[in-house]
């Protein structure tokens, strides 16, 4: 009887260790994947010179204060320059962005893009 209890107790510990290792592996994989995605989206035009120096078809991530938007998805705005994580200043650089029906909105809808709105835009630079 003693041997059987030791065997079942040892087996329970082994299962607990295996489950713990699997959870640890999944957490490490999730963190690694998140870091990879962050690095792939690191192309940011934080100021006007970064945006001007970027090549056509380059991926950009910018913050724009909307000055006008129309039903066709054309967004006119002014580039905002990043000062800290949550502070931006206005620049004199005009920005025109084109959105479409397939454009994904993270928070809000297409109707929320109106004059005075501040939007983060990730996309490909045109001509």
Kindly state the average pLDDT of the residues 10-15. 80
Secondary structure string (H, E, C) spanning 24-71: HHHHHHHHHHHHHHHHHCCCCCCCHHHHHHCCCCCEEEEEEEEEEECC
Are the beta carbons of 125 and 57 closer than 8 angstroms? yes
Query: What proportion of the chain, given as a percentage, has pLDDT over 90?
Result: 13
pLDDT at position 6: 59
Q: Which residue has the higher pLDDT, 125 or 63?
A: 63
**17 phi/psi in degrees, rounded to 5:** -65, -45
- What CATH number is given for 48-124 in this structure? 2.40.50
* Distance separating alpha carbons of residues 117 and 127, to the nearest angstrom: 25
pLDDT at position 39: 67
pLDDT at position 64: 86
pTM greater than the 0.75 cutoff = no
Q: Which residue has the higher pLDDT, 47 or 25?
A: 25
The residues spanned by each domain of the chain are 1-40, 48-124
Confidence of residue 28 (pLDDT cuts 50, 70, 90): very high
Q: Which residue has the higher pLDDT, 45 or 67?
A: 67
């Amino acid at each position: 009887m003693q041997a059987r209890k030791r065997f079942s107790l040892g087996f329970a510990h082994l299962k607990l260790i295996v489950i713990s290792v699997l959870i640890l592996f999944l957490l490490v994989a999730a963190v690694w994947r998140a870091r990879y995605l962050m690095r792939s989206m690191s192309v940011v035009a934080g100021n006007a010179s970064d945006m001007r120096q970027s090549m056509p078809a380059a991926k950009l991530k910018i913050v724009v204060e909307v000055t006008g938007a129309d039903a066709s998805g054309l967004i006119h705005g002014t580039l905002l320059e990043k000062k800290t994580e949550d502070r931006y200043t206005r620049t004199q650089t005009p920005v025109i962005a084109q959105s479409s029906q397939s454009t994904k909105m993270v928070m809000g809808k297409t109707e929320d893009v109106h004059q005075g709105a501040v939007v983060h835009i990730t996309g490909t630079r045109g001509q």
